[in-house]
Structure 1
C-alpha cells in the first residue's frame, strides 16, 4: 500500500467503543448473589488492568498511567493513558483483517487512552442477571484500534456485542490537503476472526460519508445449560425450562434491538 506523506504528526483520532453483554438465569436469590460475586471476581480491576495491558501491547503502545478501582457493591473501572512506541509500524496495520490473538502489532500513537467499565446487574423479579462491559480504545496515529477487537472479543464471554468505530478530525499531507480518514474500511466485520463471524448474527449500520461504522452481534447458539447459574437443565421441569428459555431469549433480543417488547408476538 502506498504510504501517505504527512505534514507533521498524524492527527486523526480513531475511536473504538463497544459493549459486551453476558446473560445468565439465576433461580434463587442466593444464586443471583453468587453470580454477581463470581463476575466481580472474574473481572475485577486487577484482571481488567491485565487485559488492557495486553491490548496496549497488541497496538504497540507505551503505558503512561493507570487508574483502577473496584466498586461496592459491584463493578470495576480501569483507565489507561498510552503513547507511541519509538518503533516504525510494520506493514499491513491498516488492512481490513482480524487483529492478533494476541501477537504484537506496532504503530505510532499519542494522546491516546484505553478504558473499561463493568456493570453486573440483575432483574428484580424474573431471575435474569446480566454482565455488561463497556470498552473504549482511542488512538491518534497510523493504526486503527480495531486491531485489538479480535483479542478483546475472545477475552470476554459474550452473548450480545454492540460496536462503534469512528474516525474524527483530519490530518494534512505535505501539500496541505486535508485527509479525514487514512485507511479503507467497508465494515467492522472484516476485522473479526472466522470463528466469531460464524458464531454470531450481525447487523451493520454504517455512515460512510461521516466515517461512522456500527455493528451489532447476537450469539446464534442457544444451549440452556450455558445460561443457568447454580443449577442445570436436568433439574428443571419441561414447563420451567420453556419459561426460562423465553425469558432469556426476550432479554437478549431486547438488548440486541435496543427496545422493550410488549407482546410475545414481537419476539418471533
Structure 2
C-alpha cells in the first residue's frame, strides 16, 4: 500500500480490464466438494469482496462513490463499486454525474469508473472436481499500467485490433498438486493416485483454457 498503482490520464473514454479466474479443486467425495463450495462461499462473501475492492480502489488512487453488493442462494456473490479519480472529486474539478432532463426523460452520464467482482463456486456431479470462478472487471477513465511478466503461464493472445479488444488466455505451466487439494495432504495419497488426480485436474484446466469439451 505504500506505492499506489498508477492510472494515467483520467478521461471520458473508458478502458476495461477484465479477468476470469478459475480455481480448481480435487475433493475425495461429493461431501467434500460441498464442503469446499461452502468454504469458498463463506471466505468470499460480499462483505469480504467489498473490503478487497476497497483496497484495490485505494491502491489505484481512486475514491469510492457508491457500493452495491449481493450474496446469492445457494452460493456466489457480487460487488460493484462506482469510483472516481480521488484528486478530481476532492478538488471539485469534476462532477461524478452529469445529467439532463428532456421532457419526461432523465439522461445521466457517468464520467467516472467502476470495478466489479462476481463469484461462481460449483462442483461437477459424478466427478471429483470443484471449481471456483471469479470474474473481475475494472472500467477506468484512464490508462492502466502494464502487467508484470507471465513466465509461469502458457498464454495465447486473441486480439481484435480494429475494436481495441485484447484477450489473453493463460494456463499455469507447472501446477503443484498440493495447491489443488481440499482437506487432504498430498502425502496421504498413494503415488499412483496422485498421478491420476493430477491428470484429472490438468484435463479440467485444458478444457477451461480451450473453451470446449475435449475429453
Q: What's the TM-score once normalised by structure 1's chain length?
A: 0.64
Taking the TM superposition and a 5 Å limit, the aligned residue runs for 1:1-268 are: 10-87=11-88, 110-140=111-141, 143-144=142-143, 146-147=144-145, 191-194=146-149, 197-262=150-215
- Conserved? CA contact 2:12–2:111, under 8 Å: no
Q: Which residue of 1 aligns with 2:5?
A: none
Distance 2:111 2:152 in 1: 35
CA contact (8 A) 2:34 2:123 kept: no
Would the aligned equivalents of 1:17 and 1:135 in 2 still touch at CA under 8 Å? yes
TM-fit CA distance, 1:61: 1.9
**For residues 127-162 of structure 1, what are the alpha-carbon distances to aligned partners after superposition, in whole Å with 9 as ceiling and x for unaligned?**
10000001111122xx22x44xxxxxxxxxxxxxxx
Q: Tell me if structure 2 keeps the 8 A contact 1:21–1:133.
A: yes
Aligned partners of 2:82 and 2:115 also within 8 Å: yes
CA distance in 1, matches of 2:52, 2:186: 33
Q: Which residue of 2 aligns with 1:183?
A: none
Deviation at 1:87, TM superposition (A): 4.9
Aligned to 1:166: none
CA deviations over 1:76-109 (Å, ceiling 9, x no partner): 1101111232359xxxxxxxxxxxxxxxxxxxx9
Q: Which has the higher strand share?
A: 2
- 3-state SS of 2:174 partner: coil
Q: Distance in 1 between matches of 2:86 and 2:49?
A: 22
Alpha-carbon distance between aligned partners in 2 of 1:239 and 1:229, rounded to the nearest angstrom: 19
Give the distance between the partners of 1:81 and 1:62, measured in 2 at CA.
Answer: 9
SS at match of 1:86: helix
Unaligned regions of 5+ residues in structure 2, if any?
A: 1-8, 90-109
Say how many residue pairs are matched: 187
Give the secondary-structure state (helix, strand or coil) at the position aligned to 1:27: coil
Q: CA deviation at 1:20?
A: 0.6
